[in-house]
Chains A and B, each alone.
Chain A
């Protein structure tokens, strides 16, 4: 039971983002992916999700290579929260969340009757009960982000790949979302991989970390080993200082 990448190489436009990358996400683990802009974090997530083929290497979920899985089976195993929203969606928040149930429905119909309670529960978990009949286009950026997460909860994959899940969220909802992720990992034993952009949260919420430096250099392992001040300063090219006295308190920029 794991999401494993073996010997993974990723290239875009003749630039090597990573090579010989190996890591395994076990259920119950939260992996943080960090790296400077353009270092290939999203490309990596898309490759793990089976949306783009890697230059070489194998990705397998629970022992089965994702390249041979059916699209629906893959969508039940791996869910993605993309970074960019390209959509012009005319329906309500509930309509939006309901679409997450597609991989569970009969293929020829695309929906089933017990979808709605699942979608309502996902909205409740994201604190969006009062928003279910609101039109998606009338929601604020942060509210949309929570609706998008609720859709992923309704999809209920075993492994969640989150690309900058905290974008547009105020501090309260950042904490709530990370609590939600922790609960999924703890109670349902899901595995999570998320791209994060600051150096404070990863040390507090991630059990493991993966650093991409954008020139092919990678570092993967337990959070305590990887998320050191030395590694993060080298990764982002700026000075950091510990955010508190306790170990694992995280870092903030040194000014």
Chain B
């Protein structure tokens, strides 16, 4: 329970930092005042118009990626599974880059990304789900294989695209929250999916014992797998639509929380969601302030902050 409180505290702190830091630094009093409409119009506008939507988008995006990571690691019984293992980011990237190449605007780029992500999920599902049954290894492999195909096509587009477009494409591929101005849908989705997953927490624990044991304990494995698959797919698609293919959060956050000693899903899920949200909020704050006015892709910072943290946690346990 202490760790749940700690992760909630980290969430509040990260959101506060995201509201305070920027080209116009704000102090504690100004942020608090701005939030409750007490301070100057400028501070209020900076907070409500600029920083709050982006901070909430980063938090929702990180939470969704961590949630999908936990769910897919449980579904595939594989520690290396992350939120992109179903090929969602590959499909979305290919769609987005294709639309950018053809010179479409932001709306069409987003639509193409969504179409690509859904196509990837449909292919993985169609190839591996047979007669109401799932072969987990086929699911894992088909996601990996599909991602490799998407990566090849994405590279092809990068090579043949006019150089003026390549920079925008790289932002998409690294993950970037600059255009994430409407976080509400993702935030509501995050709350609903996390709540649903927590209600399935005992079943997710039991799934780790293998299909036979899980069914003998009375878990409806087939329907549970379907719920996990589509829940994780929905979370990943929502995250990718907000921030592009932000790496590392979905793989790392579940493990980081587990290395802190939290393994049962009823605690692992909420803690990982809040840790993922806090982590991406901080990473995004770095991405928009450290090199200001130049904005950097947040995916660079998730790796730069995450790799040393993760290596430290791993060495501590060994």
Q: Is the CB of A79 within 8 A of B209?
A: no
Q: Which residues of B contact A85 (CB under 8 A)?
A: 210
A49 to B217, CA, bound (A): 10
Task: Confirm or deny: B219 has a beta carbon within 8 angstroms of a beta carbon on chain A.
Answer: yes
Residues of chain B contacted by A78 (CB below 8 angstroms): 216
Chain B proximity of A72: nearest CB distance (Å): 4
Q: Which stretch from A104-112, A206-214, A242-250 is at the chain B interface?
A: A104-112
Complex contacts, A74 vs chain B, CB 8 Å: 218
B76-107 contacts to A, CB under 8 A, are 77-79
From B45-53, B199-207, B276-284, give the one contacting chain A: B199-207
B210-243: which residues lie under 8 A (CB-CB) from chain A?
210-213, 215-220
A59 touches B (CB below 8 Å): no
Q: Please give, as numbers and ranges, the residues of chain A lying within 8 Å of B217 by CB-CB distance.
A: 75, 99-100, 102-103, 155
Q: Which residues of A contact B213 (CB under 8 A)?
A: 80, 82, 87
Q: Any chain B CB within 8 A of the CB of A175?
A: no
- Nearest CB in chain B: distance from A105 CB, A: 7
B209 engages A89 (CB within 8 Å): yes
Given A75-B216, A95-B264, A155-B217, verify A110-B201 contact (CB < 8 Å): yes
Q: Are A49 and B77 in contact (CB under 8 A)?
A: no
Determine whether A88 belongs to the interface, using a CB cutoff of 8 Å to chain B. Answer: yes
Q: Quick check: A105 and B210 within 8 Å, CB to CB?
A: no
Residues from chain B with a CB closer than 8 A to the CB of A110 are 200-203, 266
Query: Is A1 in contact with chain B by the CB < 8 A criterion?
Result: no
The answer to whether A183 has its CB under 8 Å from any CB of chain B is no
Contact A49 B258 (CB under 8 A): no
CB distance from A114 to the nearest CB of B (A): 15
Specify which chain B residues have a CB less than 8 angstroms from the CB of A51 in the assembled complex. 212, 215-216
Q: How large is the interface on A (under 10, 10 to 19, 20 to 34, 35 or more residues)?
A: 20 to 34
| Interface check A38, CB cutoff 8 A | no
Contact flag A86-B202 (CB < 8 Å), given A51-B216, A75-B216, A102-B217? no
Which residues does chain B contribute within 8 Å of A89, judged by CB atoms? Answer: 208-209
Residue of B78, B200, B212, B264 with highest tally of chain A CB at under 10 A? B212
**Cα(A100)–Cα(B77), bound, Å:** 19
Which A residues from 59 to 102 make CB contacts under 8 A with B? 70-72, 74-76, 78-80, 82, 84-92, 95-96, 99-100, 102
Q: Which of B210, B212, B220 lies in contact with A46, CB distance below 8 A?
A: B212
Judge if B108 is at the interface, Cβ distance under 8 Å.
no
A79 cross-chain contacts in B, Cβ below 8 A? 216
Residues of B within 8 A of A96 (CB): 209
Q: Which residues of chain B have C-beta atoms less than 8 A from A92's C-beta?
A: 263
Question: B252-287 toward A: CB 8 Å interface, digit per residue (1/0)?
Answer: 000000100001101000000000000000000000
Alpha-carbon distance between A86 and B213 when the two chains are bound, in angstroms: 9
Given A71-B219, A99-B217, A87 and B209 touching (CB < 8 A)? yes
How long is the Cα–Cα vector from A80 to B217 in the complex, in angstroms? 8
Closest-by-CB residue of A relative to B199 is A108
Q: Please, which residues of chain A bring their CB within 8 A of the CB of B263?
A: 90-92, 95
State in angstroms the CA–CA spacing of A51 and B218 once bound together: 10
Q: Which of A28-65 contact B (CB under 8 A)?
A: 46, 49, 51
- Of the candidates A84, A99, A103, the one having the most CB atoms from chain B within 10 angstroms of its own CB is A99
A118 to chain B minimum Cβ distance, whole angstroms, is 14
Contact, CB under 8 Å: B77 / A87: yes
- Closest Cβ of chain A to B75, distance in Å, is 13
- Residue-wise, chain B 63-80 has the 8 Å CB interface mask toward A (1 for contact) of 000000000000001110
Distance, CA A99 to CA B213, complexed state (A): 10
Instruction: Name the B residues within 8 Å of A155 (CB-CB).
Output: 217
8 contacts between A and B (CB under 8 A): A71-B219, A80-B212, A82-B212, A86-B212, A87-B210, A88-B208, A91-B264, A103-B218
**In the A-B complex, the 7 residue pairs with the closest CB atoms:** A110-B202, A75-B218, A86-B210, A71-B218, A80-B216, A91-B263, A90-B263
